[in-house]
Structure 1
Amino acid sequence: MSETTSGPASGPATDLAAGAAPAAVSAPAPDSGSGNGARGAPPPRAGGGRRGLGGFLAPYVFLTPALALFVAFLAIPVGYALYLSVQGLRIVDEGVFGTRSEVFVGFANYADILTDSTFWAGFGRMALYGVIGVPLTLGAALLFALLLDYGGARARRFSRAAIFLPYAVPGVIASLLWGFMYLPSTSPFSHVTEELGLGGIPFLDGGWIFPSLANIAVWGGIGFNMIIIYTALRGIPPELADAARIDGCSEWRLALRIKVPLVAPALVLTGLFSLIGTLQVYGEPTMLRPMTVEIDQTWVPLMYIYRDGFIRDDLPMAAAGSVVLAIGTLVLSLALLRVTQRRTFGGAQ
């Protein structure tokens, strides 16, 4: 019974199953492989070349508005300034008055500016202004940022807004406001000192003019720099401060030994902004000029350039002065980054 039912029946069934199973498993293998390959690398379709070209041009299409603005408002003006700087105004026609015309003079304008003592005197006054204003601005901004980052600080939002508010005041308006507070007839500070029998403070006379101008820049620049430093402080992991406090570190040592070194890149950035702002100082002395005899038309380099371009109507000389000032700004900025990069960025080149 077992031989007739199990033996012959199991043999052919087993052989058939054994023979059919490999066929069922192995037959779809080529189709499966080709199907996977088709999904991984689809065959090229009609119009694929055009789509590839569109993908290649897409970044440039998106960059076109920014590039157009860059060329229109930076590249072309810079190129035109370089062109004007090698031109000169000369009398070319005969007659009683003659006619002024632009002629090529090479580097004569640059030579005239670099040998003009008035131009370098303006640089000296600007440097003194920066020596007073930049350290005070960065020091006060760092102090306020550390106070706001202190764990027990109160009313942080109001304090941030109050400190940042002067930065939102236009420089011209700020200069006029401080100018009236400097005038002897309207100065509240001089009124207080006179009531105390100390006499008025000559804010706009003699050596007082430099700290008076620097004070305007400090008042307006603290808020912007404070926000940058405060943002960097908020990025410090709180675990570092907690570990330092557990080790017995005071808040003062925590700020000086841990927080300040960690926000050094932000300090370098604010220092760079302050340096560039100092080299471009113009609004403050220009607005205070009608109030004092200490400030003349060429008190700082930008006022010197303005005089050549809009009072003397000598645009080539003004363009040469602008190029010299731009190169000086670039050199000093690179020097600042070079000096600070070893300590701040670990010597990265």
Structure 2
Amino acid sequence: MTQPPKGARRPYGVETAPYVLPSPTTPRRARSAPYFFLLPAAALFVLFFALPIGYALWLSFRKVEIKGLGLGKGAKTEVWAGLDNYVSALGDSELLGSALRVLGYGAIVVPMMLGLALFFALLLDSERVRARSFARLAIFLPYAVPGVIAAVLWGFLYLPDVSPFLYLLERLGLPQPDLMDGGPLYLAMSNIAVWGGTGFNMIVIYTALRSLPAEVYEAAKLDGCSELQVALRIKVPMVAPSLVLTFFFSIIATLQVFNEPMTLKPLTNGIPSTWSPLMKVYSDAFTGGNIYAASATAVVLALATFALSFALLRISNRRTTQGASR
């Protein structure tokens, strides 16, 4: 220990520790401190993300070989399968049918959800709107409801025996549509996704709108632009990156749809166990007991999602670059 520097004063009535000169090893410890803070997050990432992905990849190249009747010790052995599981997954008609159903589902969900999110964001950003905080919370609140609970709530609202809406239609003498079978089933499940996801996308777009400089709006109004023209010609182009971001989020969420059809499946016979690709993976792994084929299907879905997202991102960046060059 050393004495405090000359001229340093100790506050009256406060006991302070003796002054200690910095150690030569202090800079090295300071440089390594951030890595110690990152260590718990890195460990969780490896344990619950990287290792499961690696294990799924390993299982996708394996299969079970049965000898004889499959009875007794050593009758079932795990062997190397190569690309057999991937060939079977790509040639599976049920997987193709589930992918087509999800594409039809996404064609309804994505435009409707992003359109409503943009509309609400522009409406909340208007100067004439009142109770902005309450409206923002009310629109975002459905996103806070877990997907399974939302699917259960809407599922009972769709059932003819318990739905108050269908009861009112019956009392009025109007036809009662069957929302749990056929074409209306797509609209019923799309409604659940739109109701739950619009609020999140609205917050993203609204945050981008609030970050825009007010001088741009004032200049447009001085030039004679109306509120609608400012929204369509200035606000929407300037929040295009946020729209692209929400579009990618919506595409990925659509390809991974699982909660809605899986929760509604016990309520109707119109939803097969392989309605969506993830339901196909779940059925192969936990109903059929073939975790090797399920792992290969999951890897194929992950690669397809990555390829689609990458292609859409390249197209979006190319159009943005061309627009900027003009």
TM-score (norm 1): 0.82
Give distance in 1, aligned partners of 2:76 and 2:284.
15
8 Å CA contact retained: 2:85, 2:293 = yes
Q: How many residue pairs are counted as aligned between the two chains?
A: 302
Structure 2 matches for 1:171-190, cutoff 5 A? 171-190=147-166
Answer 1 or 2: which has greater helix percent.
1
What is aligned with 2:18?
none
What is aligned with 1:154?
130
8 Å CA contact retained: 1:87, 1:105 = yes
8 Å CA contact retained: 1:265, 1:345 = no
1:57 aligns with 2:29: no
1:198 Cα deviation after fit: 2.5
1:165 aligns with 2:136: no
- Indicate the larger mover: 339-348 or 58-67: 339-348
Give distance in 2, aligned partners of 1:46 and 1:270.
50
SS in 2 for 1:151: coil
Amino acid aligned to 2:145 = V
Mark the runs of 5 or more structure 1 residues left unpaired by the alignment: 1-44
1:256 aligns with 2:232: yes
1:53 Cα deviation after fit: 4.3
- Indicate the larger mover: 158-167 or 337-346: 337-346
What is aligned with 1:73?
48
Structure 2 matches for 1:273-288, cutoff 5 A? 273-288=249-264
- CA 1:191/1:106 → structure 2, altered by over 3 Å: closer, same or farther? same
What is aligned with 2:317?
341
Alpha-carbon RMSD across the aligned residues, in angstroms, is 1.9
What is aligned with 1:200?
176
8 Å CA contact retained: 1:193, 1:201 = no
- CA 1:235/1:346 → structure 2, altered by over 3 Å: closer, same or farther? farther
What fraction of aligned residue pairs are identical, expressed as a percent?
53
1:230 aligns with 2:206: yes
Q: Which residue, 291, 316, 321 being the options, matches 2:297? A: 321
1:46 Cα deviation after fit: 11
Amino acid aligned to 1:196 = L
- CA 1:90/1:193 → structure 2, altered by over 3 Å: closer, same or farther? same
Amino acid aligned to 1:135 = P
1:165 Cα deviation after fit: 0.7
1:67 Cα deviation after fit: 1.4
- CA 1:238/1:109 → structure 2, altered by over 3 Å: closer, same or farther? same
Give distance in 2, aligned partners of 1:90 and 1:175.
40
1:345 Cα deviation after fit: 5.9
Give distance in 1, aligned partners of 2:191 and 2:317.
29
8 Å CA contact retained: 2:60, 2:292 = yes
Per-residue CA shift, 1:145-164, capped at 9, x if unaligned? 00000001100010011101
Give distance in 2, aligned partners of 1:346 and 1:270.
21
Q: Which residue, 301, 311, 323 being the options, matches 2:287? A: 311
Amino acid aligned to 1:97 = L
Give distance in 2, aligned partners of 1:95 and 1:301.
32
1:100 Cα deviation after fit: 2.8
1:91 aligns with 2:75: no
